[in-house]
Amino acid sequence: MSNSINTLRELIKTGALGINPETTVTLSYEYSEDVAHYNDDYQEDVFYSSGIFSMLTEFLTTGVDENMLGGKIREAINESEYIEREGYFVDAQGDEYDFSEAIAKLDLTPEDSEDFDEDEAWDEVSAHMTFVPDDISQAVTYDYYEFGVDTSLEQYDYKRGCYTVSLELETTAMALLETTYNFGDFSVELDTDVATLKLK
């Protein structure tokens, strides 16, 4: 757990600056890299270097997506044309299943049955469990806005520039403390009675 989260825990415990479990917290992540923006693939390279793919995948498995984002990442994955049906499912208890195991767990029509319909079964399993794809890189790179990711390009000249990938989450102090995700790479900002407090 990052130092800023530990500091936040202490501030809530003592009630310092009027901070309580319902205090609004803004979490911000930003990664920037100098690029040759005349190349078509510069965005993809920065996305890979940023670590945003593994971060969003972990949001699915640590409750961040469900509790802080209202299922936005799960929805973006289900809607994306760039996601393959390769990965695993996670239920509300955090247990993992492959597609066949999920079908059995939910007592759906077995795969060896004549009545089995893969698309129907997939939709049913996806409605009850969270699908965690093996690879979300293409989906995030091409549909980043659907995942809540922002990008910007500062052009130095006609060839070079700086490309930034950023992500901002708004939640409450208590919801932040209850997640198992380590927000160590994020800056943490709180609106207190006195002023806006930034932790890093």
How far apart CA 124 and CA 35 sit, in angstroms, is 43
Would residue 182 count as lying in a domain?
Answer: yes
pLDDT at 89 (0 to 100)? 96
* Domain count across the chain: 1
Would residue 163 count as lying in a domain?
Answer: yes
Tokens of 81: 């044309």
Would residue 122 count as lying in a domain?
Answer: no
Contacts of 130 (CB under 8 A, 6+ apart): 60, 61, 65, 66, 74, 89, 90, 91
pLDDT at 197 (0 to 100)? 76
Contact 174, 13 (CB under 8 A): no
CA 149 to chain CA mean position, Å: 9
Would residue 124 count as lying in a domain?
Answer: no
Would residue 10 count as lying in a domain?
Answer: yes
What are the tens digits of pLDDT across the range 131-149? 999 999 999 999 999 999 9
Would residue 121 count as lying in a domain?
Answer: no
pLDDT at 178 (0 to 100)? 78
Contact 73, 160 (CB under 8 A): no
Output the tens digit of pLDDT for each of the chain's 200 residues. Answer: 567 777 777 777 787 777 888 888 899 999 999 999 888 788 999 999 999 999 999 999 888 998 888 889 999 998 999 999 999 999 988 899 999 999 999 999 999 999 999 999 999 999 999 999 999 999 999 999 999 999 999 999 999 999 999 999 998 888 887 778 888 889 888 877 777 778 76
Range of the domain at 52: 3-84+135-199
Would residue 90 count as lying in a domain?
Answer: no
How far apart CA 101 and CA 72 sit, in angstroms, is 25
Would residue 181 count as lying in a domain?
Answer: yes
